[in-house]
Structure 1
Amino acid sequence: MSARTFTPDRVNADGSTTIRMKRACNGCGQLLGDVDNRDVDKDGNLTDVRGECSFCAPIVALEAAGCRTWNLTRRNLNIVDDATDADGLFAKGYFEYVDDKLVVTGLRIGQGETRQVAKFGDWIVRHPDRTWTVHHAPEGEAADA
């Protein structure tokens, strides 16, 4: 697959701005470059471009290898917690102070020194051998959804 062009915005003589529509990764939202023909399939649906994203490409490879993945959000926190429980692995919400309030910001998986913390926006990976790992979002990219 060829690299995408990334056309910068251009300010015109009349003060208006000409832009080229950009494609964002459907995994993490990172801008990948200009929209082109590969972004829509024959039925008009947006294609999965996570494989083009430097952050999400390893997740795509893990899924192809049989791993189950979750992009951790507030909405699926309990679903991921239940999945870890089903594997006999302890998990609970991870809390931090934000603006002087104690709020849940992710999920703590495991106990003791081997525990891992996944924040909202990180990918949680369940490997076929029932081990669990966290693929952390790039700094400043964490989702709050």
Structure 2
Amino acid sequence: MIRPNTPDRVEDGRKTTTFHLRRACNGCGQHLGDVDNRDVDDRGNLTDVRGECDHCRPLVALEAAGCRTWRLTRRNLPEIDDEVDRDGIYAKGYWEYVDGKLRVTGLRIGSGETRIVAYFGDWIIRRPDGCFTVHKAPSPA
């Protein structure tokens, strides 16, 4: 079901702005449209709307197929690094020069030619066969 996206109204040559709460994807943060009754469960908690987002819908399908997914952030990098290491795969922070300073910008998984790099905001996917892939973060609008 497509969400409404309430536009401004123009009446008698005057623009009238109507305020509506907007819902953002709880996976990537992209705006989806107006909030409605399906956004809150019986306890008052926000529901998972990643299936409505063009960017995150493939992740929901991968999770249903048995994949494990993480959205890489500065805060959860050590947790993901440890979990990948427990799988027997080499992982460590990925460093790059940013504004003249060496900074961690993501996570490197694997070694040699087959390694992958996930940057902050990207989704890391561990497939049931144990291989890892990256689902890139959406480009800022």
Q: TM-score, normalised by structure 1?
A: 0.87
| Contact map agreement 1:125 1:133 (CA 8 A) in 2 | yes
Equivalent residue, structure 2, for 1:4: 3
Query: The residue matched to 1:42 in structure 2 has which SS?
Result: coil
Q: Compute the displacement of 1:140 (Å).
A: 2.8
Distance 1:66 1:33 in 2: 29
2:35 maps to 1:24 = no
| Contact map agreement 2:20 2:34 (CA 8 A) in 1 | yes
Equivalent residue, structure 1, for 2:58: 58
Distance 1:88 1:138 in 2: 30
1:66-87 deviations in whole A, cap 9, x for unaligned?
1111100011101111111111
Equivalent residue, structure 2, for 1:128: 128
With over 3 angstroms needed to count, the CA separation of the structure-2 counterparts of 1:10 and 1:72, relative to structure 1, is: farther
Q: Compute the displacement of 1:60 (Å).
A: 0.9
Q: Compute the displacement of 1:14 (Å).
A: 7.8
With over 3 angstroms needed to count, the CA separation of the structure-2 counterparts of 1:120 and 1:11, relative to structure 1, is: farther
With over 3 angstroms needed to count, the CA separation of the structure-2 counterparts of 1:122 and 1:11, relative to structure 1, is: farther
With over 3 angstroms needed to count, the CA separation of the structure-2 counterparts of 1:4 and 1:15, relative to structure 1, is: closer
Distance 2:103 2:132 in 1: 24
With over 3 angstroms needed to count, the CA separation of the structure-2 counterparts of 1:27 and 1:11, relative to structure 1, is: farther
With over 3 angstroms needed to count, the CA separation of the structure-2 counterparts of 1:122 and 1:101, relative to structure 1, is: same
Q: Compute the displacement of 1:11 (Å).
A: 7.9
Q: TM-score, normalised by structure 2?
A: 0.90
Query: The residue matched to 2:59 in structure 1 has which SS?
Result: helix
2:77 maps to 1:71 = no
Query: The residue matched to 1:92 in structure 2 has which SS?
Result: strand
Identity among equivalent positions (%) equals: 69
In structure 1, the gaps of 5 or more residues are: none
Distance 1:9 1:63 in 2: 38
Distance 2:80 2:54 in 1: 24
- Look up the equivalent residue of 1:5 and give its one-letter code: P
